[in-house]
Structure 1
Amino acid sequence: MAKLSAKEVLNAKPRDKAYRLGDGGGLYLYIRRSGAKSWECRYTKPSTGKTTFTGIGSFPDVSLADARKRATEIRLQVADGIDPQLLKAEQKAKVISEQKSTFKTVAELWMESKVHRLKPKTIEGNWRKLELYVFPQIGQIPIARLTAPMAIEALKPIEKKGQLETVKRTVQLMNEVMTYGVNAGLIHHNPLSGIREVFRKPLVKHMLALEPNELPELIQTVAGANMAMTTRCLIEWQLHTMTRPNEAAGARWCEIDTERNVWVIPESRMKMKRAHEVPLTPQMLAILDVIRPVSGHRDYLFPSIRDPKKPTDAESINKALSRIGFKGRTTAHGLRALASTTLNEQGFDADIIEAALAHTDKNQIRSAYNRTTYLERRKTLMCWWSEHIEKNAYGSMSVTGFINLRAVNNR
């Protein structure tokens, strides 16, 4: 078969029926009745042995020289047992899949996988960061085409504003999304794994907490402050129980075991997802006596003022502490640090203190042992801590002090 010339290809005219002009090596120029021209390559399918044609582009978009190159590639593929049509279909499907797997789409799938593993408030905060700082710049880019420079460029404006903690957290979220993409088989590796090293690191801020000798000031200021009884009781409850702010604020009456004098916080409300028992001291029971007329008929010990069917916001402790002069000095979490520092200085066993704070031992066997043996020893520790708080409240109208004063006057 004679080779086609560029002039023959250009001058080929339409006929009553579509026809082909051969160039040799399985390459043909296909001319339709409309006059449109395209290149085709004839080959034998490796799987069936049947002869078929596959398109390799339109003329003049694909020149004669380029068509010959593509035909050669097809012959080499067939020689290796590859079907060009199936290969083209796979490549097209891959492109479509990549185009659909944008960063935002994959982030939505990643977020769905977190629904039953993270608290709604955490999920909402994480998604908000992505919406504000990531999606506008790279949300529509397929993750298979996303590069480190693209991600870095998206976050540089936040770094320039000095929001280094936000940058750190957002980089972490982006990497979680990309790792999900790797695990889901959408990409082979995560190109963003090292970008955190590009940004300035935020200064480490130690938790704001009072020194042990400042406890009298704290408890006496809280006692004399103008605040709702629910808030006052909540602050003293958290201080005595050494629990986390959200654990204290979300306390339910059904969690109080009056027979054993223990507050049992279910694992669903604990940070470490493990139930925690708090021995109730006389001072804690006194706080319950004060708050019972307010919320004893409700679900929560410390109900929200706006909606009593819901617990008060854990952030209310921080707001109250700020209002009464402790802004920049301590936080709700700092109350736990105050307890820990004081107890350690008094020589209490560090393991007992950690157990009281509901910190999980990294050694799982040791952790399980601690759960079963430390409750009795924690009762001694909690009683000392409550009595210590009470002594430092001397002369004030703290919640527990009020109960004790009433008991004395009733004698």
Structure 2
Amino acid sequence: MNLTHNYVTSLAAKPPEARMEVWDQKTPGLCLRIGTNGSGTWSFRYRPKIGGGYQRVTLGRLADLTLADARERAARHRVTVADGGDPQRELKARKSAADSILTFEALANRYIEEYAKPRKSSWKNDEGYLRRACCAWGKRAAVSITRRDAITFLDGIKKAAPVSANRTQTVLVTFFNWSVEEGHLEVNPIAGLRKRSVETAKDRVLSDWELRVLWTALAQSEGMSRDVADALRFLLLTGQRPGEVAGILQSELCDLESPGEARWEIPAERMKARRLHVVPLAPGALQILQKAIERRRMDGDGLRVFSSRFVARDTLARHSLSQAMRRLIANLEPEGRDGDAVASLQEKPPTPHDFRRTVGTGLARLKVVREDRKAVLAHVEDDVHGRHYDLYERLAEKRAALEAWDRHVASVVERQP
């Protein structure tokens, strides 16, 4: 029939008892399919010149297209068919091409699985930084991300967290470089881009007064779990990386019943340098581990050392240590002889990584030679000799250094510095 706007509107207002199709006499091939609930769809039926039976292509919903709009779209398709085209086949081809486009999120997932996990002990950091980028660009084609997109994105982070913007940029540079090397992208859109924020080298080291105040507060573990507090104390005694301490497993501990042989063997896959690192356990550190393992034994847990409150996690999260430190320092009361130390801590709050710098600096104050300090902190010489030929673990030297530091911490805690 010769469709009119009023007739089409009446069909939607008073739906038929059964689904029906109405064909437009004015525009051959144009069809309105209307359902019993009043919803309708416009379509166009045609027979391609290249052969085959009739094809139908959807034009849109009745709620979105007026009769005039539907006739216009159908007319355009009629011209395409007259010129030898096939609208339905072309539509499928475009959809297939769109489906084959690698989105930023899909490429980011491949980067994590194919590059970050096999090569980086800190791959979870990469995953976290890329997750924010995926929120901004996840569904976009990876090839469509421009330099301006990246600058706008990073400057948005910079407003609230300047250092985080730089870390995000570092991960994105690595991600885009890998994408180019693997042939997924032609160019790295942020190659040579200056860091969005100027950083100053960190130099925070705890004084003996501050060490004493923090150790005492951690021993009381107010406002945090016993496991988090012990992980922070263990970090302060060993100087290892916070993420490695948070994720320590019972299977990595050796000879705990022999104080002179007790050690923690950090596997290569959990080490930043991707090589086994052995940490001798001085008496104070050993005692912390033994008590933590006894708590796990009571829980029936033979895997972890420091347990997370979150059931879904196997071990503590690295950021749990940072969050606990911030809360602990903020709640310290500047009273008595510790008032100045508390004020100093609150004025310039240390992070768990600053504990590592404190241990390294403390060992230097105790006259531990540079090679032994570097061995304790797993700082490997970055040359062929250091990486491939000097494989001596310096286990005895590391044990002597950490025992000296253990005695120093004990003396600081027990007396007025």
Q: 2:317 aligns with which of 308, 313, 318?
A: 313
- Of stretches 363-372 and 340-349 in structure 1, the one that deviates more from structure 2 is 363-372
Match of 2:181 among 167, 173, 183: 183
Measure the CA separation in 1 of the matches of 2:399 and 2:313.
32
After superposition, the Cα gap between the structure-2 partners of 1:296 and 1:239, relative to the gap in structure 1 and judged at 3 Å, is farther
Cα distance change, pair 375–148 in 1 and its aligned pair in 2 (3 A): same
Structure 1 unaligned regions, length at least 5: 1-31, 33-59, 62-91, 397-411
Q: Which runs of 5+ in 2 are unaligned?
A: 1-48, 50-78, 81-92, 330-344
Amino acid at match of 1:132: C
Report whether the alignment pairs 1:255 with 2:252: yes
Q: Taking structure 1 as the reference length, what is the TM-score of the superposition?
A: 0.61
Within a 5 Å distance, the mapping from 1:248-287 to structure 2 comes to 248-258=245-255, 260-287=261-288
Structure-2-length-normalised TM-score: 0.60
CA contact (8 A) 1:270 1:276 kept: yes
Aligned ranges 1:306-385 → 2 under 5 Å: 306-307=310-311, 310-325=314-329, 326=345, 328-368=348-388, 370-385=390-405
CA offsets 1:350-398 (integer angstroms, 9 cap, x no match) = 12111101122212422455542511111110110111111112169xx
- Name the CA distance, whole Å, in 2 between partners of 1:235 and 1:180: 36
Change (3 A) 1:368 1:382: farther
CA RMSD between the two structures? 3.8
Bigger Rg over Cα: 1
CA displacement 1:215-259 (0-9 Å, x = unmatched): 222222323453543333322222222222222222222222115
Say if 1:368 and 1:321 are closer, same or farther in 2 by CA, change over 3 A. Answer: same
Aligned-pair identity in percent equals 23
Q: Is the 8 A contact 2:157 2:165 kept in 1?
A: yes
Q: Which one of 241, 246, 249 corresponds to residue 244 of structure 1?
A: 241
Matches within 5 A, 1:55-134: 100=101, 103=104, 106-114=107-115, 116-117=117-118, 118=120, 121-134=124-137
Distance change >3 Å, CA 345–CA 109, structure 1 → 2: same
Q: Which runs of 4+ in 1 moved over 6 A?
A: 96-99
C-alpha separation in 2, matches of 1:203 and 1:338: 20
The alignment partner of 2:264 has SS state of strand
Give the CA deviation at 1:181: 4.1
In the other structure, the counterpart of 1:23 is none
Indicate if the aligned counterparts of 2:205 and 2:361 stay in contact, CA closer than 8 A. Answer: no
Q: Residues 154 and 141 from structure 1, CA distance in 2 versus in 1: closer, same or farther, beyond 3 angstroms?
A: farther
Per-residue deviation, 1:213: 4.7
Tell me the SS of whatever aligns to 1:254: helix
Paired residue total: 301
Q: 2:132, 2:378 → 1: CA distance?
A: 30
Deviation per residue, 1:31-55 (Å, 9 max, x gap): x9xxxxxxxxxxxxxxxxxxxxxxx
Q: Residue 199 of structure 2: SS of its match in structure 1? A: coil
Displacement after TM superposition at 1:111 (Å)? 4.1
